[in-house]
Structure formats: structure tokens, C-alpha cells
Amino acid sequence: MFLSEVCIRRPVTATVMVLFLVIFGLIGMRRLGILLFPDVDFPVISVSTTWLNARPEEIDNNVTDELEDSLGGIEGIKHISSESYQGLSRVMIEFELFKNVDVASEEVRDKVFRVINNLPEDSESPLIEKIDINANPVIWMAFFGQRSIEELTDYADKTVKPLFQKLKGVGDVWIYGQKRKVRIWLNRDRLARYNLGVDEVIRVIKAQHIEVPGGKVESSSKEFLIRTMGEFPTEESFNELIVAYREGNAIRIRDLGYAEAGREDFTSETRYSADKKLVNKAAAIGIAPRSGANEVEMARLVRKEVENIRKILPPGMFLDIASDDTAFIESSIKEVKFQLILGGIAAALVVLLFLQNIRTTIFTSIAIPTSIISTFAAIYAFGFTINNLTMLALVTAVGLVIDDSIIMEENIYRHRFELNKPAMQAALDGSKEIGFAVVASTLTLAGVFLPVAFMGGLIGRFFKEFALTMAFAVGWSMVVALTVEPMLASRFLKPGGEKWLLFRTFDAMMGRLRTFYRQGITWVLDHRYVVNLIIVLALVGGGIFLKFIGKEFVTPEDKSQFLVSIENPLSYSIYKTDGIVSQVEKFIQEMPEVKNYWVISGASGSFVPEASKGLVYVNLVPKNERKKTQLELMAEIRAKIKTIPDTTALVSEMSLVGGGTRGEEIQLVIQGPNLQGLDRYSREVMGRMAKFRGIVDIDRSLELEKPEVRIKINRNKAADLGVEARTIADTVGAFMGGIDVAEFKSGGESYDVRLRLVDKERTLPTDLDQIWLHTQKGEAINLASLVTIETGVGPSVISRLDRQRAVFIFANLEKGKTLGEAKQEINTMMKEVLPEGYTCKYIGRSEAFGETIYYIAFAFVLATLLTYMILSAQFESFVYPLSIMMGLPLSFIGAFGLLFITGNTLNLFSMIGLILLVGLPAKNGILLVDRTNQLRKEGLPLKEAIVEAAGTRLRPILMTAVSTMAGVIPVALGIGIGSESRQPIGVAIAGGVLSSTLLTLVVVPVIYSYLDRFTQISLFSKIKKRMWVQEKERQENSS
């Protein structure tokens, strides 16, 4: 080949070319960020609106519906989902992946601004945020000690947070705790005694607690700003505020109740335990990385800063790192690097075994580091990162990048020592003879990777880096094989010394195998029906294995952490819920595998305050330090919680892939016209799902049993007395829910001043009867005389999906139950349960699983078509590629069979492995067909050419196949942290290469003999033959 000949004659040029690639690869490697998965932008916008104390139905009708109506016309929306809680509306707008998230954010902001005046007057302005799943905290710290929770939260926010914000790579710092507030507690009876209404107290506070600029005073030489300083200096000084006068006596706040330094309303409790014995109330500090940052390096800086902060903390304050996701990232990446080195060594040993020449082995093995290191230059240039998928691509490529060099070195080796040519001539002839096959096989593999890189949807975005990294690696390997390998062989390839006993034994075996193979091919060519039988048996066997293989999205990984979501009856208070959560804590403390845990009582998984719910974040000791797996421990805690009456728990892994509203493996949504129907049918669906084997933790978003008190105003009577409905609502809201009436400044910071009734006067619905308010004439009147008070139940949250009422159903799977099996059972059941007007569809992982099947199938078909087209162009024939591609279906029996034997599933990673198998078997076929065509051009008859080519190419085919399997064996063994998800791709490739190699050696020669007749009658062959005759006649005439 021309390029090889140039490098053989110009060795310095070849050396400089490779050094150039390696140097830039090393530079790129040092500059790359490190993440767990590729940095993918998700165009998702959140609109959150707070309307304190409003019921979910009010939120849904007056806030959520108004916002959704305004947002519907924005281009590129994929889904609009919403949740209306008590006091909070949350609308999530998910755009198609092509939508620029900044443009989407501006369009959402514009639409919201247009309807902001239509929202309730006392609701807060909507908060519009871009949602970045990669910007969630990867490190959580516990800040605890012998201080109040509000002191801890305040110190964390004012002092600790800025220290972390300055670190390189830190994008945001989250603080979760109880904020400091000034609390003014009023006594109902005292207000009545002095004939005062809450509205009057609020008016006086706002009028007396002020700081107002008053202009300025100017002279010829100076200027003075004027400020009226009317704010109270301390929390306790509010007690001296005069509210009114009665009989000449001043009535102060301390006469109506008291003011104190306090915290937010008690809606949740956060605790942390580092040693499972000492449990501390704690504030949580979360460190989120900046987009594209090196998360591992950022974590190192954070850990170092923690040590520095501990030295300056006041006595009685402590800072612990509770969980660090980057530890899993770092361990997983290290494991992949180790597998990369191990695979490279294994592939090199394969070369040594076959060629039995140290120099040849070294020359061939050079392809691994040069190709892999050079690939980092391309990874950096394309803006990728070092992550599990790019590293997995390199591990998978180890056995492939050496293939081209093996083919090149083996052929030069054959010319040098078996055909006894001088080193220079052997390099020239060997590279020229095999160069076409090297290029053809590399382009074929590239044709396989491109469809994976351009798959649609979220899966395509994730695997783009994987596919292009593979393409870069095999591309550089081709360059190395065509340049460096022939150059080194032409100068340094010498015969080895006396062969070791192992090598002599192996040579004898290979000699007998080659003889047996030649005889076998000769026999098979005379009995071609045997091949037909082999093909049928292989296809049937592959289909049988496929039927019994489980199907799922991704294999769960043991990340040494899981989440326990606790749910109690909706009537439970925060205090009762906290008692239940404490029982769960005791169960966790009994587990020796637990490292530490977090507890949040009174909150759901999205940190929305819900008194009847609780969360426990459990961190386990590393995987290699315990005997039980994460799934076994999750099942254990699930069983223990079932012993608590009226309490259910969802025990889920911490989700990293798949999206959806939560992390459960099964997520589906039922949509319909009304809440009552959704309630009825979702209950029936959950009941039937509970009967299916292996489906656990069944839950739904719709809850209609939240106790509520409904105040119905007698409008005629209220009008007669001059009492407005707004006055009634404001009075009840201020007394029972509380209201922020002013801001208090201290130490350069502002804190809310919140007014509310004392706790003991608002514990029962009957306490509403004791509320007094004032008419326009100033007369006191009891609330009970103006309203009718009823108790009932209502929804705790109202969900919508694409503007339609919806209920979300969630469930987890026990070990041994696959997502595909569960979906099949649920689909059959849904057809029996849901009537007309109600629909069901999957979201989250379940939806991603369905999309994966579609996109993988599309990529597989496209890869097959591209491979055929590339081979047709390379061989200038539409017939020969058909014989080469017969290895593709033959690889399935090995892939499916080994997946079944090892207990792996057909999932995202194993299906990517199947796509790669479109190109890998073709490499063997290319070697056979290319050599057969060469021999036929030299004049050999068809049968002799096939037999000779088969015997000649047996060794390189076996070498490339065994080296490819050796490269992926470390992945296929599934050893190490994070190996669970990577193992299926290694198993699929190893099994597919094994079966396709063994069967291709027999099938391709026979199929070639079948199809040869068609090459003689095709239109293109006749044209080429006529052109060849004309050219020959022209040469004869010219001579």
C-alpha cells in the first residue's frame, strides 16, 4: 500500500507522525473533565409558585391551570407536567432535545410574565429555573453540634457556604435546614380581652418597624444622607411595641403574647448519624458541580476545604462528609482503567502465543497505547469527558485496536519467515497484500459506530461519546497498522531463538488444526447442505436463548447507597411521622453494613413538605467490605418496615439514568377526565400489580384522604355586619397558618418576622370557634357566627400530564424480575382494567426502555445497511459482501447463549454490544474473501482458492478473534465497582465473537462458493469484463 511503502522508506516520518498523535493525546488527557456519565443538556424548565396555606385544589385551579394555559403554545414542548401541593404549584416543561435551553427559558419567562397579574394577589412571583440533572449535589455534608438547628443553618449559609463557592469546579452550594425567623406568638384570649383584631396588630407592626430614606442635606463642602431608623434592634425588643391604648394604658406585644428569636414553622426534622449510635439534628450542605467540571478533582478540593473549615468552626459545631458520589465515580473509572490495562496485556499475550516472537509482539502491542492515547486528543477536541461510557469504549476497543496490527504483522511475519524474504521486501509485499483488508475492516467497524452515535432521543445523546470514541480508537489503530508496524518490521523483525516447549506444543496443535481445517473445508465444499443445516440450527438456537433472556433498561449497580421513602396515613402529624421514622432508624442501626444515614421527617422525595412522609438516605460500607449486596439489604429493610402498622415504605436505589419524576424501576401514568375515576382505576391497577411476582413498593401520586377543614361563609350575615370575605380569610390565615409581616435586620442579613397563634390554641378544628374578628364598626364578633365549619378529606397533591389530570404509579422490582417481563404483565392487565376515556403510558426508566428498543433496532438496521454498502464499495461488488455478512446472524447464538448462561439480561449495554457484532464478524469474512479474490486473480480455480485462503487466513482470524475476546474478558467477568452495568456488553461481544468466528470459518467459504456464480452474470461484472478486454486490446495495439 502507498502509505505503508512511504513509511517503510521514511522511518523518521512514520515515527514523527505517531509521536504527534501521542503528544496531543497526552495533553488532551490532562485537560479532560471526569464525570460518571456524559454531560448532556436536558432542556427542562421549572416554574414554581408559592401561595401560602392554599389547598391543592385552589392551587390547581387558580395557579397551575393559569400557568399551563399560557405555556402551551411554546414551540418544541415534549411534555408539560405539574403538581399542585398545599401552598405550592410546580410546573415542569420538558422540551425536545434539539431545543436550546436558554431560548426555552426566555420563552417560558415571557409567557409567565404575561399572566402574572392573573395569579392570586397574595401568591409569590413564580420562580423560573433551568433544571440540570448534572448540577445536583454530588457531595452532601452534615453540619451539626450543640447548637439550635436555626443557628447551624444560619452559620452554614453565611460562613461555610462562601468558602465552598470559591472552589474550582463548584457550581452551587445547597443549604437544607431551618432558617432563623423572628416569631411573634399571639394569645387568642388576650386579643379578645383588649378587643383587638389581628389585622390591627399587623398594621401597627408594619407602621412602627421601618427604616426609610429621608433624602439628603447638602452644604458647600459636605453632603449627608438622611435615614429614619425606626426598626427594632433585637428580636426581644418587639415585645415593647405598643399596639393600642385601653383606658389610658399602653397595650404592648408582651401583653398579647410574646416575641422571640426562633425558626421557620416546624414542618420537617433533619437528623444525621455517623456511627449509628449518636444521632444529631443537622443542617445539610450539598455541593453541586459546575457543568463540565472535573467532579473528581472538585471533590478533592472540597475534602481539603472541609479539613480547613473544621479548624475554624466555633466550639460545639461539627462538619462531616455524609455521602460522596464522586467516590463511586472515581472507583468506577479506576476499575475501568484497570480493565483497560488488563485487556491490553491479555491481547499482547495472545500475539506472543501465536507469533512466538518478542519483537513482533512488541511491535504489535505498540498499537494499544498509541491508539488509546491518541484517542484522548479527539475526545478533547470534540468536547467530551472522561466518563464511564468513553472509558468503556476504550476498554472494548482494546481487542480491536490491536487487530489491524495483528493482521499486518502476521502477514509480514509470514512473508519474512515462511516465504523466506528479506525484511524490507517482506514488509513491502506483506503490507501491500494485506493493506486493503486492514482498511476495509476498519471502515466496516466505523460504519457500525456511526449509527450508534446518531441514535435519537436521550439514549443517543448518552452513547454518542461511546460510539465516536470507539471510532476514533479504531481509526488511529488503522493509521498505526499502515505506518508504524511495516516500518518497524522492515528494520527490526528478526527470527527468535529456540522456541519454548509451550510454543512448540502450540505450533504442533496449530499445524494439526490447519491441516484438519483444510480437509474440513474441502469436505464441506462438497457437502454444502451441511452449512445450510448449521445456519438453521444457529438461528433457531439464538431464538431459543433470546426467549429465555430477561429484558430490562440497565442492570442495577451496587452504589452502596439507597433511599427509604416512608409513607403514613395522611392524617398523621409531623410529630407522629417522626416517631415512625425513629422506628425505621432503629432497624437501620441494627444493620452492620450501614456506614451512616440521613433522616428527613416531614418531606417527600422532592423535598416538598408533607407531614405524613419521611425520607432516610442510607450509605453502606464499600461493596468489597460486606458480604450482602445492596439489593439484599434493601429487601431486608423493606421486610422490617412491613411490621410497622399503617406504614408503607418504598426502598429504591439512587437513580442516575432514566429520568422520570422518581427513581423507581416501574413508572407509569394513568390519565382520565376526573379525580374520582383516576382514584378508582389506579387502586384497581395497584391491587392487581401487587399480585404479580417480583413487583414491590407499589405506590401512587394521588392521595384523596388528606383531612381538611372547610370554612363556608354566610355571605348575607357577613354583609349585614360589614365583614368582607377577605377579612375572614386573612384572619384565619394569620392565626392558623401564620403570616410574614415585616423584615428584621441583624448582622447585615434580613430575616422574616412571622406572626401566628401560640401552638396550644390551634391544635383542633374546634379552635376555629374561638377566633374573633372585627366589623367595620370596630365591634368584636366570633368567627363561628359568620361561617359554617365542616371537616372532610381532599387531595394532598393534584398531578397533571400534558394538561390532563393524571395519577402516577410507581413500583420496584425484586431480584430476578426484569422490567420487560413486568411491562408485559402490566400491559395485559391494563387492557382489562381501563375503560374508554382513560389511557396509560410509561415514563422514566419504563419509557426509556421502550425508546431504547426502538432506537437500538433502528441503529442495528442502519449499521447493517451501512456495513453492506461499505463492503460493496470496497470489493466493487454487491455479491461478495453477502458472503461476508453471513457471520452476523451466526454471532447471535453465542451472544444470547453467553448472556443466558451468565445470568445477564438484554439491556441497553448488551444491545449496544449486539450492534458492534455487526462489524466484528465481518472482519473475519473480509480476510477470507479478500485472500480468495487475490488467489483467483493469480489463476487458482475456485475451490483451490477457497481452501488455500482458508488455510492461510486461519491464524490471523484466530488471533484477532482471541485478542478481541481477551480485551473484553475483564469487562465480561463483572468484577469491581460499577461492573454490573458494564458486564453485559463484554459478555455479548465475547459470546458473539466466539460463535461467529467458529461458524464463519465454515460458513463464509461455502456461501462464497454459492454466490460466485452470480458475480459472473451481474450487469456490473459484464461491464467490468468488457472494459478489461478493451484495455487489454489497447495495450496489445500500443505494443
Q: Which residues of the chain have pLDDT under 50?
A: 656-661, 1019
Cell of 154: 444560619
Cell of 362: 512488541
Assign 491 to helix, strand or coil: helix
Asked whether the beta carbons of 165 and 173 are under 8 A apart, the reply is yes
In this structure, what are the phi and psi dihedrals at residue 895, rounded to the nearest 5 degrees? -65, -50
Cell of 259: 416575641
What per-residue confidence (pLDDT) applies to 786?
87
Number of Cα atoms under 13 Å in the Cβ half of residue 221: 0
pLDDT tens-digit readout, 4-56: 888 888 889 888 988 998 999 999 988 888 877 787 777 889 999 998 778 88
In this structure, what are the phi and psi dihedrals at residue 916, rounded to the nearest 5 degrees? -60, -30
Q: State which amino acid sits at residue 189.
A: D
Q: What is the CATH number of domain 180-263+707-794?
A: 3.30.2090.10
CB atoms within 10 A of CB 577: 25
What per-residue confidence (pLDDT) applies to 358?
83
DSSP 212-238: EEEEEEE-SS-EEEEEEEES-SSSGGG
Name the residue with cell 448582622: 747
Name the residue with cell 452550594: 173
CB atoms within 10 A of CB 1010: 16
At the second CATH level, the architecture of 42-131 is: 2-Layer Sandwich (3.30)
Q: Which of 206, 256, 254, 202 is nearest to 230 (CA)?
A: 206
Which residues, 6+ apart, have CB-to-CB distance to 779 below 8 Å?
Answer: 721
CB atoms within 10 A of CB 338: 14
Cell of 591: 444493620
Asked whether the beta carbons of 665 and 811 are under 8 A apart, the reply is yes
CA distances from 673 to 92, 149, 741, 803, 807 (A): 21, 45, 41, 11, 11
The DSSP letter of residue 623 is G
Q: Which of 101, 102, 134, 131 is nearest to 33 (CA)?
A: 134
What per-residue confidence (pLDDT) applies to 655?
57
Q: 71-81 as b/e, with b when 16 or more CB fall inside 10 Å? A: beebebbeebb
Q: Which of 470, 488, 476 is nearest to 364 (CA)?
A: 488
Boundaries of every domain in the chain: 1-31+356-497, 42-131, 134-179+275-336, 180-263+707-794, 529-557+851-1033, 560-653
Q: What is the CATH number of domain 529-557+851-1033?
A: 1.20.1640.10
d(CA 877, CA 696): 56
DSSP 62-86: IIIHHHHHHHTT-TTEEEEEEEEET
What per-residue confidence (pLDDT) applies to 1027?
58
In this structure, what are the phi and psi dihedrals at residue 122, rounded to the nearest 5 degrees? -90, 10
What per-residue confidence (pLDDT) applies to 660?
40
Tell me the residue ranges of DSSP E strands in 191-309: 210-218, 223-230, 242-246, 249-252, 257-263, 269-273, 279-289
**Superfamily assignment of 1-31+356-497 in CATH?**
Multidrug efflux transporter AcrB transmembrane domain (1.20.1640.10)
Q: Which of 394, 397, 810, 362 is nearest to 567 (CA)?
A: 810
Q: 424-440 as b/e, with b when 16 or more CB fall inside 10 Å? A: eebbbbbbbbbbbbbbb
Q: Do domains 529-557+851-1033 and 560-653 have the same CATH topology?
A: no
Q: What is the pTM of this model?
A: 0.78
d(CA 928, CA 926): 5
What CATH fold (topology level) applies to the domain 560-653? Alpha-Beta Plaits (3.30.70)
Q: What is the CATH number of domain 134-179+275-336?
A: 3.30.70.1320
